[in-house]
Amino acid sequence: MKLFVDSANVEAIEVLLPLRIIDGITTNPSLLARETGNPRDTLKRICEAVGGPVSAEVVATDVEEMVREGRELAAIDNHIVVKVPFGKSGVSACAALASEGIRVNVTLVFSPAQALLAAKVGATYVSPFVGRLDDIATDGMELVSQILEIYENYEFVTEVLVASVRGPAHVVEAARMGADICTCPPKVIEALFGHPLTEIGLEKFLADWERSKTDRA
């Protein structure tokens, strides 16, 4: 399973890149708004640093403007994936952009029916928001399971990009289900490394080694 970082902070992304576990980036207007400078310059820097897919979202809401903005975003760098929100306008924009060879990530997906429609119009990625479903007492990961089943049934090539990930449990469950990608905030990526028994075990190994050196002296 591929791991993407859900962030527009170049410094936070660059800290994770040397680990060689990061396959791409997702951004959205909220994340870009937190950063200083021109958003398109920020996207270009991220593309150059990562060298993998970088999702950049349109802010227009009508089809023509979404397509126009999508083309402009795609022109920033060949790693850009145009992100459009699900809806009638988003589906139409996805179909138009995909027909031009532009990769599209359909976001804000909350039902298997929505994911089916996105795949039918050629979405490269579909992004189910699992954490937001969990927030309203709905099983977000069950949505991922349903989407994967539908895509397998009809051999859709659209990749399932699990979004709104809140912790390592979401990542592990997505991997067990066979999701293509999880996009995670940097703090979730960091949390994947942690386990108290690993830390306790390392401390014991080092303490035993130091004690053996003392005994040999």
Annotated catalytic residue within 44, 83, 187, 213: 83
Please indicate whether residue 2 is annotated as part of the active site.
no
pLDDT in tens, the chain (217 residues): 999 999 999 999 999 999 999 999 999 999 999 999 999 999 999 999 999 999 999 999 999 999 999 999 999 999 999 999 999 999 999 999 999 999 999 999 999 999 999 999 999 999 999 999 999 999 999 999 999 999 999 999 999 999 999 999 999 999 999 999 999 999 999 999 999 898 888 888 888 888 877 766 6
Provide the whole-model pTM. Answer: 0.94
Q: What is the DSSP string of 22-45?
A: --EEE--HHHHHTSSS-HHHHHHH
CATH level 3 topology of 2-216: TIM Barrel (3.20.20)
Alpha helices by DSSP H, listed for the chain, are 10-16, 29-33, 39-50, 63-74, 88-99, 112-120, 130-135, 140-154, 168-177, 186-191, 196-216
Let me know: does 81 contact 57? Beta carbons within 8 Å.
no
